[in-house]
């Protein structure tokens, strides 16, 4: 099976394999990422990679160097409505988050024909909120005091995008 899902100007998205699990675990637990995501254990990542249909771990890779620059985790791929569960960039501030997210939207809507994609985000995660809004996601709601983090309740912002909204953003 070809591991490459889609390529852009600087980045490609490819299916993760078991040799990527160490990279994914290190990114999850890096303090600058851990404060914004809920990590999964190694066994769960192994199951996702073995499954590869309903859930998917995707490595974001620099085309020029072949070096990993981050990863995505997707769930609910056996429904018309995919969930983007983890969006994590290792090499931050280079525009990779924006480019990789646009590639992921191209793959989910233009290639895989999902009807809708959605993601949730901690309300204080200003960079991610900006990233999703700039990519064209619509703020759909707020899950109030949904997560208890270090003794404080956090709100989660829910973002969604429909296939027709994606098409309007990328007229052919």
Please give the Cα distance from 160 to 11 (Å, whole number).
24
Q: Which two tokens stand for residue 86?
A: 């983890």
Tell me if 85 sits within 8 A of 45, measured CB to CB: no
Is 58 a binder of ligand COA (CB under 6 A)? no
Torsion of CA 102, 107, 109, 115, to 10 degrees: -110
Q: Nearest approach, Cβ of 145 to ligand COA (angstroms)? A: 17
Q: Please name the residue that has the structure tokens 């990542």.
A: 45
Binding part of the chain for ligand COA, among 46-54, 110-118, 123-131, 140-148 by CB under 6 A, reads 123-131
Q: Which of 22, 80, 95, 141 binds ligand COA (CB under 6 A)?
A: 95
Q: Nearest approach, Cβ of 1 to ligand COA (angstroms)? A: 27
Is 124 a binder of ligand COA (CB under 6 A)? no
**Closest to ligand COA by CB, 115 or 130:** 130
Tell me if 96 sits within 8 A of 89, measured CB to CB: yes
Please give the Cα distance from 128 to 140 (Å, whole number).
15
The residue number whose beta carbon is nearest to ligand COA equals 97
Task: Please report, as ranges, the residues that interact with ligand COA according to CB under 6 A.
Answer: 33, 36-37, 87-89, 92-98, 121, 125, 127-128, 130-131, 134
């Amino acid at each position: 099976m070809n591991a490459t899902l889609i390529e852009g100007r600087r980045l490609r998205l490819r299916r993760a394999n078991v040799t990527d699990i160490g990279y994914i675990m290190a990114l999850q637990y890096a303090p600058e990422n851990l404060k914004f995501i809920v990590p999964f254990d190694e066994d769960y990542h192994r199951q996702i990679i073995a499954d590869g249909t309903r859930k998917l771990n995707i490595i974001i890779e620099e085309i020029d160097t072949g070096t990993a620059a981050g990863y995505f985790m997707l769930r609910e791929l056996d429904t018309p409505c995919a969930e983007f569960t983890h969006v994590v960039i290792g090499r931050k501030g280079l525009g990779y988050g924006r480019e990789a997210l646009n590639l992921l939207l191209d793959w989910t809507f233009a290639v895989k024909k999902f009807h809708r994609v959605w993601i949730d985000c901690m309300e204080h995660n200003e960079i991610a909120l900006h990233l999703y809004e700039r990519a064209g996601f619509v703020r759909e709601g707020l899950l109030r005091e949904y997560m208890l983090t270090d003794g404080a309740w956090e709100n989660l912002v829910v973002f969604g995008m429909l296939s027709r909204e994606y098409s309007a953003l990328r007229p052919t």
